[in-house]
């Protein structure tokens, strides 16, 4: 009698364990399937525009939004140019613009002549812009006032950077002064040491060409780090914000947009305003 009870209880326990195992396995499978469905759904939602574009079903709403954003940008560019009618207008280019058809580079908005161009020549202590030579000659052939700039890397030796620029760029009569492009803060040195490096570059380059370089930077970087200590230099300032509608009186150049459309150049181009007219910009060129 006792043995029978034990066997019956054992059978019940085993049945319950089997049932529990069955449900736990089933639950696990359902959980995994549910998770995968949610994951796929989430990924699909996140990349919905890209997937739709790839499949050829991109919505009219997305296209209209992109078109509207460009329209707003174009309107802003036109308004800025209209407010500065009579000022000299120019662009700046690098290898990122690809192959430029210089003979077609003439106006912006089919109304405002492009008088000048800044061309990137060097980067840091050891890198040449691989389109510099071609762009440098192309701009000259197109009878544009041209200038060369160096992209400064704050964590590299300033004298080596100056030497690279000097050995790369040969300025001629009528060219714009050399430009130092500083946009980044250093990773492994103080702001004080950064300023020492910048001054060394500027002095070496000025001694070589016999003309004081121009400094290019963003408005915030200019106000925070350069405005007071580098007041002896002329500045080319970048600011694309809508609240900025006119060039500031103490800026030599203003880069007001990075989304200009120029004949002869594929994609977007930086557009700049000189704080004076065509005759006045010729006063600052190399003699």
Give the sign of the dihedral formed by CA 226, CA 271, CA 169, CA 128: positive
Angle (CA) 151-140-263 rounded to 5° is 80
Of the candidates 126, 160, 170, 183, the residue annotated as catalytic is: 183
Of the candidates 92, 129, 175, 181, the residue annotated as catalytic is: 92
Which two tokens mark 63?
A: 């296209």
| 270 is a catalytic site residue | no
Angle (CA) 187-272-91 rounded to 5° is 90
Question: Cα(57)–Cα(185) distance, rounded to whole angstroms?
Answer: 44
Q: Which residues of 173-202 are buried (b: 16+ CB within 10 A; e: fewer)?
A: eebbbbbbbbeeeeeeeeeeebeebbeebb
Q: Are 151 and 179 in contact (CB under 8 A)?
A: no
| 183 is a catalytic site residue | yes
**Active-site positions?**
92, 183
């Amino acid at each position: 009698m006792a043995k029978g009870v034990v066997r019956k209880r054992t059978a019940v326990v085993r049945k319950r364990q089997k049932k529990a195992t069955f449900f736990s396995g089933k639950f696990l499978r359902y959980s995994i399937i549910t998770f995968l469905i949610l994951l796929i759904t989430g990924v699909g939602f996140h990349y919905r525009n890209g997937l739709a574009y790839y499949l050829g079903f991109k919505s009219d709403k997305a296209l209209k939004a992109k078109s509207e954003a460009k329209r707003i940008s174009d309107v802003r560019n036109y308004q800025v140019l209209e407010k500065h009618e009579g000022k000299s207008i120019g662009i700046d280019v690098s290898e990122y613009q690809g192959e430029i058809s210089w003979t077609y580079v003439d106006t912006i908005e089919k109304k405002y002549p492009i008088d000048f161009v800044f061309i990137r020549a060097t980067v840091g202590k050891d890198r040449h812009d691989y389109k510099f030579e071609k762009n440098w000659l192309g701009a000259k052939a197109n009878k544009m006032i041209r200038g060369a700039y160096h992209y400064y890397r704050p964590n590299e030796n300033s004298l080596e950077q100056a030497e690279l620029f000097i050995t790369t760029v040969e300025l001629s009569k009528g060219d714009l002064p050399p430009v130092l492009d500083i946009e980044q803060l250093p990773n492994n040195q103080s702001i004080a040491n950064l300023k020492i490096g910048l001054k060394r570059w500027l002095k070496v380059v000025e001694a070589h060409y016999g003309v004081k370089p121009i400094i290019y930077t963003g408005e915030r970087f200019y106000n925070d780090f350069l405005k007071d200590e580098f007041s002896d230099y002329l500045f080319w300032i970048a600011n694309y914000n809508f609240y900025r509608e006119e060039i500031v009186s103490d800026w030599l150049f203003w880069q007001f947009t990075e989304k200009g459309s120029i004949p002869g150049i594929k994609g977007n181009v930086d557009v700049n305003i000189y704080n004076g007219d065509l005759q006045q910009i010729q006063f600052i060129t190399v003699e």
